[in-house]
Amino acid sequence: MPQEILVAEEQAVKAYGWAARDSSGILSPFHFIRRTTGSNDISMKILYCGICHSDLHLAKDEMGLTIYPIVPGHEIVGEVTKVGSNVTRFQVGDIAGVGCMVGSCRSCDNCTQDLENYCPKIVWTYNKHQEDGSRTFGGYSDKLVVDQHFAVRIPDNLPLQGTAPMLCAGITVYSPMRYFGLMEAGKHLGVVGLGGLGHMAVKFAKAVGAKVTVISTSPNKKKEAMEQLGVDEFLISHDQEQLQAAKGTMDGIIDTVSAPHPLLSLTEMLKTNGKLILVGAPAQPPELPVFPLILGRKLIAGSAIGGMKETQEMIDFAAKHNITADVEVIPMDYVNTALERVAKADIKYRFVIDVANTLNSPY
């Protein structure tokens, strides 16, 4: 009998995944339970799960928010294996995607405007205590039970491995690029950090005909970024001359960097009325460069993932434009090495775990 059973057995479906148990962030096999399929729920056999940098932040408790044991993973694609009696959007055998949230209140101002991602009662896909006392566990696991509202339909033409990362990385950049008017032909977008989020921002922006400049710490990413992702300009963030030359040229910048870094040169690169959108989540707050904001009516904003309606819109947009993430598919037992490589920005551009073929679930 596994020791780590956390809610009443009679409501339980046995599940298996990999969890971190302490701030070393090292993952190992873990038995737990999921709820049975409720009337509004779908159950999924998880096929692929992307590795987001947030998984690393949380596995290592870099934010001071982690509840151990933690099963990370919120870029999930799976096959529907069961549907509840009220489910209308999915049938058994369909492919569904689940991102960072699996619940919200459904009635607050945010929820009624399709902004469940800003609901004060949002239920994150993992690392969340729920009202009934149970816990959520993420997609580095064999199965998931989720309210149909928090799953999206995956169009047939999208390859599933490259689709998984769009459930977090994709929507996290798509939503602010749309909201702040940066995903438009003729606009000049800066993308800071060419990782999982950053390369999705490049793909969406190029799909609509925007000009894209990447601001990166990694000169070794330049050639491929320009030749394969179609990046127009590639600036090295420690090259002051390059940064100076780009002053006042950009309509907006999406900053996806996962570690503390200065914002001054970024705000200086914006045109008057330019917008710097922070989506990366370094644990320490940045210093705020006030003067370049004042002298140009510039704006710094944040943004978190996107609502369910917009997540479906993003997936449908991706299907129409043949956009998926560039991925390195790995077996489950490579996950600790993969997380170490994510910490060093040594991945082009997303690891995706081949869960169905390599987890070896006993259930």
Q: What does the binding site for ligand NAP look like in residue numbers (CB under 6 A)?
A: 52-54, 57, 168-169, 172, 193-198, 216-218, 221, 256-259, 261, 279-281, 303-305, 342, 345
CB of 119 or CB of 215, closer to Zn ion: 119
Binding mask 255-274 for Zn ion (x = CB under 5 A): --------------------
CB of 176 or CB of 274, closer to Zn ion: 176
Instruction: Find which of Zn ion, ligand NAP, none residue 105 binds, CB within 5 to 8 Å per kind.
Output: Zn ion
Instruction: Find which of ligand NAP, Zn ion, none residue 342 binds, CB within 5 to 8 Å per kind.
Output: ligand NAP
Contacting Zn ion within 154-213 (CB under 5 A): 168
Report residue 300 CA to chain centroid gap: 21
Cα–Cα distance for residue pair 105/221, rounded to 1 Å? 42
Q: Kindly state the smallest distance separating residue 313's Cβ from ligand NAP, in Å.
A: 17
Report residue 349 CA to chain centroid gap: 12
Contacting Zn ion within 75-134 (CB under 5 A): 104-105, 108, 111, 119
Q: How many CB atoms lie within 10 A of CB 181?
A: 12
Cis-peptide, bond into residue 174, ω within 30° of zero: no
Q: Quick one: tokens of 287?
A: 């210093």
Minimal CB distance to ligand NAP: which residue?
195
Q: Quick one: tokens of 124?
A: 């994150």
Q: Does 56 bind Zn ion (CB under 5 A)?
A: no
Contact indicator for 127, 65 with CB cutoff of 8 Å: yes
Q: Kindly state the smallest distance separating residue 363's Cβ from ligand NAP, in Å.
A: 29
Instruction: Find which of Zn ion, ligand NAP, none residue 194 binds, CB within 5 to 8 Å per kind.
Output: ligand NAP
**For residue 87, which of 119, 137, 44, 142 has the smallest C-alpha distance?**
44
Q: Does 311 bind Zn ion (CB under 5 A)?
A: no
Helices (H), 157-221: 160-163, 169-179, 196-207
Q: If 0-12 CB within 10 Å is exposed, 13-18 middle and 19+ buried, where does residue 307 land?
A: buried
The binding site for Zn ion (CB under 5 A) comprises 52, 54, 104-105, 108, 111, 119, 168
